[in-house]
A and B are shown apart, each in its own frame.
Chain A
Amino acid sequence: GAVVSQHPSRVICKSGTSVKIECRSLDFQATTMFWYRQFPKQSLMLMATSNEGSKATYEQGVEKDKFLINHASLTLSTLTVTSAHPEDSSFYICSARAPGQAEAFFGQGTRLTVV
Chain B
Amino acid sequence: AQSVTQPDIHITVSEGASLELRCNYSYGATPYLFWYVQSPGQGLQLLLKYFSGDTLVQGIKGFEAEFKRSQSSFNLRKPSVHWSDAAEYFCAVGTMEYGNKLVFGAGTILRVKS
Contact = CB atoms under 8 A, between A and B. Distances in A.
A46 B94 contact: no
Interface residues of A, number: 21
Nearest to B41: A111
Interface in A78-115: 93, 95, 97, 102-104, 106-109, 111
Contacts of A95: 102
Contact of B104 (A43, A107, A111): A43
Interface string B91-105: 000101001111111
A12 interface: no
A97 to B, nearest CB: 6
Contact of A108 (B34, B42, B49, B100): B42
Q: Which 10 A-B pairs have the closest CB atoms?
A: A108-B43, A109-B43, A44-B104, A43-B104, A106-B44, A43-B106, A102-B32, A43-B107, A46-B101, A102-B100
Interface in A26-68: 32, 34, 36, 42-46, 49
B101 A43 contact: no
Interface of B: 32, 34, 36, 41-44, 46, 49, 51, 90, 94, 96, 99-107
9 contacts: A6-B43, A42-B107, A43-B90, A43-B104, A43-B106, A102-B100, A103-B49, A106-B36, A109-B44
